[in-house]
Amino acid sequence: MIEYRNLRVAILGGGSVGAQVAALLLQHGDELAARAGAGLELVGVAVRDVKAKRDTEIPKHLITADAESLILGADIVVELIGGLEPARSYILQALNSGADVITANKAVMANHGPELFEAAEQVGAQLYYEAAVGGAIPIIRPLRDSLAGDRVSRILGIVNGTTNYILDRMDVHGDDLHDALAEATRLGYAEADPTADIEGFDAAQKAAILASLAFHTTVPLDTVYREGITTVTRDQVQAARKAGYVVKLLAICERFTDAATGVEGVCARVHPALVPLDHPLAAVHGANNAVFVEAEAAGDLMFYGAGAGGIETASAVLGDLVSAARRHVAGGPGVAESTHSNLPVLPMSSVTTRYQITLSVVDEPGVLAAIAQLFSDHGVSVEAVSQSVRDGQAGSAPTATLVIVTHRASESSLASTVAALAASPVVSSIVSTLRVEGLQ
Ligand code: HSE
């Protein structure tokens, strides 16, 4: 029998992830100890309501309402409360006492990451957060460790399962947004208040975390451009499929050089986008997540799997727990988070991408030429145009729907083109403007 040194593990939060981490730790303790090289003794689970009914039972003697005492007696603290406070204060308290901290909390990492990393560095502790992005999917460790020798140029992520489920239903079942959201709520993907998911706040937090890590730069949450999916219509999703695309809510992190200023920087953005049907992200269905990473030497990589769920997220937390225990056994200080590149965060107006613009126009001679001229006037190059014609009302001219796909153009050029189209007498209406991502 191998005698291991014992590490005391405290869990903060007894929700679905906390209860699953506790259960798996108690169930597989010997196996985890063998992998970690140290015994992992669960010393307690701090909860807000000790009497609350839980789907996964936690042994009664481990439950406490006294988080602060639990933190003081722990070598490793696992924060699974979520939200900003008291999670942030507890993490700081744990780090300041020299404990390593594991968190699944994207909000606290996106809002307070630099403060927490600084606190960890001060005492030589380590902060682990694999479960904060993509649930069960290994993405933090691959970016931090496996790709540490490479240069990441772009990340395209489906990092919100609720919105992927909704958009997938609109695509596969022809639901409208309202019905798809109702189904997501019924299945427990969407919260009673779905704002954080459908308005893109959840994905923006994850984008800030991924961009900071991938580009060795602090990318503040308030610099992340964000649009949700509430303006996406069933007609857009159906038209997209006919044109060879699927609509996805993407978190996009890019490193690029601003063409106007020559400044190299980074930008993180979240918005619905058209993804070509032959792109690997187009095959991500239901509530699954996937993160597509483009790196200079490695080329394209995709990380795919369950982005949420109690036991799935517990898998990522336990992976961090084994890593933390190994570090304790090896000794020495934790590895500080790398922000050595410290690149500027570029504004959304500097981003270049491709666009699909759908216009309703009167079908008369000269209309196409006038529209092409508007694009040209604003420096936006048209790649493809397709037209379908509908008969007009009796006595009026037929109308045409024009679908225009551009070459790469800047957000600012596109915005001025769209404003000019809206003011043009030959355009009846702008049906939709969508960014196209993932084309070579
Ligand atoms: N609400 C998130 C989602 C899960 O729908 O993916 C936790 O980040």
Catalytic residues: 206
> pTM of the prediction?
0.96
Q: What is the CATH number of the domain that holds 179?
A: 3.30.360.10
217 lines ligand 1 (CB under 6 A): no
Q: What is the CATH number of the domain that holds 396?
A: 3.30.70.260
**Same domain? 211 vs 279:** yes
377 C-alpha to center of ligand 1: Å? 42
230 C-alpha to center of ligand 1: Å? 17
411 lines ligand 1 (CB under 6 A): no
* Non-local CB neighbours of 233 within 8 Å, separated by 6+ positions: 176, 177, 432
Residue 153: closest CA among 259, 292, 279, 274: 292
Domain assignment present for residue 287? The answer is yes
**Same domain? 114 vs 225:** no
Domain assignment present for residue 234? The answer is yes
**Same domain? 233 vs 370:** no
Q: How is the beta sheet containing 127-128 ordered, strand by strand?
A: 63-64, 39-46, 6-12, 76-79, 100-103, 127-128
Residue 110: closest CA among 180, 205, 31, 203: 205
**Same domain? 172 vs 288:** yes
Domain assignment present for residue 415? The answer is yes
**Same domain? 155 vs 302:** yes
**Same domain? 261 vs 391:** no
**Same domain? 298 vs 359:** no
Q: Please report the atom of ligand 1 found closest to the CA of residue 161.
A: 6
**Same domain? 205 vs 251:** yes
**Which of 197, 198, 199 to probe ligand 1 with, by most ligand atoms within 8 A of CB?**
197
Ordered per-residue pLDDT tens for the chain, 440 residues: 567 789 999 999 999 999 999 999 999 999 999 999 999 999 999 999 999 988 888 999 999 999 999 999 999 999 999 999 999 999 999 999 999 999 999 999 999 999 999 999 999 999 999 999 999 999 999 999 999 999 999 999 999 999 999 999 999 999 999 999 999 999 999 888 999 999 999 999 999 999 999 999 999 999 999 999 999 999 999 999 999 999 999 999 999 999 999 999 999 999 999 999 999 999 999 999 999 999 999 999 999 999 999 999 999 999 999 999 999 999 888 888 888 899 999 999 999 999 999 999 988 899 999 999 999 999 999 999 999 877 666 667 788 999 999 999 999 999 999 999 999 999 999 999 999 999 87
78 C-alpha to center of ligand 1: Å? 19
**Same domain? 324 vs 234:** no
**Same domain? 268 vs 250:** yes
Residue 200: closest CA among 160, 232, 165: 160
**Same domain? 113 vs 211:** no
Q: Residue 291 is part of which domain span?
A: 140-306
Domain assignment present for residue 335? The answer is no
The neighbour count for residue 75, using CB atoms within 10 Å, is 22
355 C-alpha to center of ligand 1: Å? 28
For the chain, the domain total comes to: 3
160 lines ligand 1 (CB under 6 A): yes
312 lines ligand 1 (CB under 6 A): no
Residues 329, 335, 341: CA angle, nearest 5 degrees? 165
